[in-house]
Amino acid sequence: TYARADTSPLLGFSGVPLQTAQDFDRVDIAPGYQARPFFSWGDAVLADAPPWQPDASDDWQAQLKQSGDNHDGMHYFPFPDAPNEHGLLVINHEYINPTLHTNGLNFVDGKRPLEEVRKEQAAHGLSVIEIRKDAQGQWQRVLPSPYNRRLSALTPIRISGPLAGHELMKTASDASGCEVLGTLNNCSSGITPWGTYLMCEENWHYYFLNRDNVDYAQRVSHQRYGISNKASSLLYAWETADPRFDVTPVADQPYAGHAQEPHRFGWVVEVDPFDPASQPVKRTAFGRFCRECAVLSMGQDGRMAYYSGDDTKGEYVYKFVPSGRFDAANPLASRDLLDAGTLYVARFDADGSGQWLALVHGQNSLTAENGFPSQAHVLLNARAAADMAGATPMDRPEWVAVHPETREVYISLTNNDDRGDKQPVNAANLRPGNLHGHIVRWNEKDGDPTATEFQWEIFLLAGEHPGARNASGQPVPANLIGTIDGDIFSSPDGLAFDGAGRLWIETDAEQAPELMQSMGCNQLLCADPKTREVRRFLVGPRGCEITGITWTPDYTSMWINIQHPKLSYPASDGKTRPRSTTVLITKNDGGVIGN
């Protein structure tokens, strides 16, 4: 019943088929292209890193010098003298897999061994690696390099902006409220026009435990973010080995203990990749939530917006508008532009219009009587402030992409099985039982990134073609049918535009057998924003999500990340433990990817 239009002038490659085999353990790519593993968990970052041990016996000091786990958001920063041949690749390490250790995560007498916890903390954060084309035109990692650097959950990071030094940021481990150890769960990212990288703290709440149920129920800064009050629901039980993650309050002493440690996560961390001695900075003007990304749109006059999704069922879409503007003639003046500005949250109205609601103390009911005594409280409890302001609850907002010419903004809403059940449908999240997700796009009024009004529409609903039948010949239920013109997919996550205006879509569908049957392994696809045609460019190994995407400025080299493969990728030999891996993609004729 489905006939492809096949009219897009942008999609210059032949699509690849779905992969539904349970033992699929490699990357398949469009004909005429190559995809090769480039940088895997355990590879050397610092020159004195020991070689990765296939039995995962490396200790935590080794891990601090090697690539972290679960590669996610990433960006290629070119050197100006040879931008397409020499650069810094900057890669987030979101979280860890049990394969980090020889025999998974262990408990001894109910506690995690400190050595294991330290290795997990060391495998989080960021890698900066220098890369360069050799005499044969092949990309190589440069080692040693003065730029190569690892950040982890143990790296001291400065806190700046409205919350720096605030009472709400003080803990037993930092009486100043100005410096925090580490960054957690860095999912997607962003860049600034002055050449820095923004790493975003997403699911940081899973690392903390507050055992005091009464305090938990009252403390919005814990409860509204889903910080656990039950040890059983924690990811890694770090609190059994590292007291900083036990955030149960000390009676009658609000700033003693670690109850406020979670206030120090959920921010944007700015890193200067070209200055390895610089200290990373948490920018608190962006507000605190489970931030997926911070994606720039800049107007002709240098005024900026940074868009972010909060990837949890029923959470919101935000944008941060710095007060100042970027001055290309004086980039150093931009150093602290991210410390002052206005945080907005989106309301998507049923008539296709939208409003950006300012999360500013004294506006939109954000008053002391309503629980927001100051702007610091608004930013710290941005989710509760957005509830109060009347934002639209979305189907797990993930990445944002901004069209390079029109500045039209796209966001992936990955899926939400609670929609229509625990969460009522709304115009922008209209499909009950939304297992496959959708993509929404909008235009800011007059194309101005800082506007407070916009016009939005649904770009596509992911899922199967109308009339699709399942393996037993039964019609597929309506909630799994989408509007895709072209190759089907589920659960859009990573989104990015290339310079020609191709929209690249990366998927993170749960690998449950019934979804695998129709949608297969996760994928990288390409869409034409004008014709809305979608074509599948690549499929990844079983169990992985596809995430992270960046290019050289000429778009002839592309890198993506294979996160948490399940079988043996990248060895693909059926026995070596799987490793999250950055993959380099090139066209055999050296041309522009996708053209």
Phi, psi of 471 (to 5 degrees): -60, -25
Distance CA 573, CA 135 (A): 31
Q: 58, 69, 94, 444: which one contacts ligand FEO (CB under 6 A)?
A: 94
CB of 293 to ligand FEO, least distance (A): 9
Which residues fall within 8 angstroms of residue 218, CB to CB, at 6 or more apart?
A: none
187 touching ligand FEO, by CB under 6 A: yes
Distance CA 540, CA 563 (A): 9
CB of 108 to Ca ion, least distance (A): 29
Segment interacting with Ca ion (CB under 5 A) among 280-288, 419-427, 477-485, 500-508: 500-508
Could you tell me how many residues of this chain bind ligand FEO (CB under 6 A)? 6
Q: 58, 120, 315, 508: which one contacts Ca ion (CB under 5 A)?
A: 508
Distance CA 71, CA 59 (A): 20
129 strand-pairing partners: 89
Q: Which of residues 376-435 bind Ca ion (CB under 5 A)?
A: 398
CB of 415 to Ca ion, least distance (A): 9
Give the per-residue contact string, 25-64, with ligand FEO (x = CB under 6 A; - = no): ----------------------------------------
Instruction: Please give the angle made by the CA atoms of 24, 30 and 33, to the nearest 5 degrees.
Output: 110
Of 28 and 398, which has the nearer Cβ to Ca ion?
Answer: 398
CB of 342 to Ca ion, least distance (A): 26
Which residues fall within 8 angstroms of residue 527, CB to CB, at 6 or more apart?
A: 459, 460, 486, 502, 503, 504, 505, 533, 534, 535
The answer to whether the CB of 162 falls within 8 A of the CB of 376 is yes
Give the per-residue contact string, 284-303, with ligand FEO (x = CB under 6 A; - = no): --------x-----------
The answer to whether the CB of 418 falls within 8 A of the CB of 313 is yes
506 touching Ca ion, by CB under 5 A: no
Distance CA 417, CA 519 (A): 17
Neighbouring C-alpha atoms within 13 Å toward the C-beta of 514: 8
Q: What share of the chain is helix, strand, coil (3-state, %, to 5)?
A: 15, 30, 55
Residue type (1 letter), 445: K
Of 71 and 170, which has the nearer Cβ to ligand FEO?
Answer: 71
Which of ligand FEO, Ca ion, none does residue 202 bind to, with CB < 5 to 8 Å depending on kind?
ligand FEO
Q: 398, 444, 487, 498: which one contacts ligand FEO (CB under 6 A)?
A: 398
Give the per-residue contact string, 185-204, with Ca ion (x = CB under 5 A; - = no): --x-----------------
Distance CA 369, CA 51 (A): 58
Of 43 and 202, which has the nearer Cβ to ligand FEO?
Answer: 202
CB of 94 to Ca ion, least distance (A): 5
CB of 569 to Ca ion, least distance (A): 15
Distance CA 196, CA 326 (A): 13
Determine if the peptide bond prior to 276 is cis (ω within 30°). Answer: no
Q: Name the burial class of residue 444, with classes exposed (0-12), middle (13-18) and buried (19+) by CB atoms within 10 angstroms of its CB.
A: buried
Of 44 and 295, which has the nearer Cβ to ligand FEO?
Answer: 295
Which of Ca ion, ligand FEO, none does residue 270 bind to, with CB < 5 to 8 Å depending on kind?
none
CB of 494 to ligand FEO, least distance (A): 9
CB of 90 to Ca ion, least distance (A): 17
Distance CA 179, CA 170 (A): 9
Which of Ca ion, ligand FEO, none does residue 506 bind to, with CB < 5 to 8 Å depending on kind?
none
CB of 187 to ligand FEO, least distance (A): 3
Q: Which of residues 304-323 bind ligand FEO (CB under 6 A)?
A: 311
272 touching ligand FEO, by CB under 6 A: no
Neighbouring C-alpha atoms within 13 Å toward the C-beta of 62: 15
Kindly write down the DSSP assignment for every residue of 355-410, as one continuous string: EEEE--TTSTT-SGGGT--SHHHHHHTHHHHHHHHTPPP-B-EEEEEE-TTT--EE
28 touching Ca ion, by CB under 5 A: no
CB of 589 to ligand FEO, least distance (A): 34
Short-list 594, 400, 595, 401, CA closest to 497 = 401
Distance CA 220, CA 277 (A): 37
CB of 399 to ligand FEO, least distance (A): 8
Of 160 and 308, which has the nearer Cβ to ligand FEO?
Answer: 308
CB of 402 to Ca ion, least distance (A): 17
Of 152 and 586, which has the nearer Cβ to ligand FEO?
Answer: 152
Which of Ca ion, ligand FEO, none does residue 395 bind to, with CB < 5 to 8 Å depending on kind?
none
Which of ligand FEO, Ca ion, none does residue 464 bind to, with CB < 5 to 8 Å depending on kind?
none
Of 93 and 502, which has the nearer Cβ to ligand FEO?
Answer: 93
202 touching ligand FEO, by CB under 6 A: yes
Task: Give the count of beta carbons closer than 10 Å to the beta carbon of residue 353.
Answer: 14
Which of ligand FEO, Ca ion, none does residue 498 bind to, with CB < 5 to 8 Å depending on kind?
none
Short-list 38, 77, 24, CA closest to 197 = 77
Q: 201, 493, 498, 533: which one contacts Ca ion (CB under 5 A)?
A: 493
Of 40 and 210, which has the nearer Cβ to Ca ion?
Answer: 40
395 touching ligand FEO, by CB under 6 A: no
The answer to whether the CB of 93 falls within 8 A of the CB of 123 is yes
The answer to whether the CB of 304 falls within 8 A of the CB of 325 is yes
Binding interface with ligand FEO (CB under 6 A): 94, 187, 202, 292, 311, 398
Binding interface with Ca ion (CB under 5 A): 187, 398, 493, 508
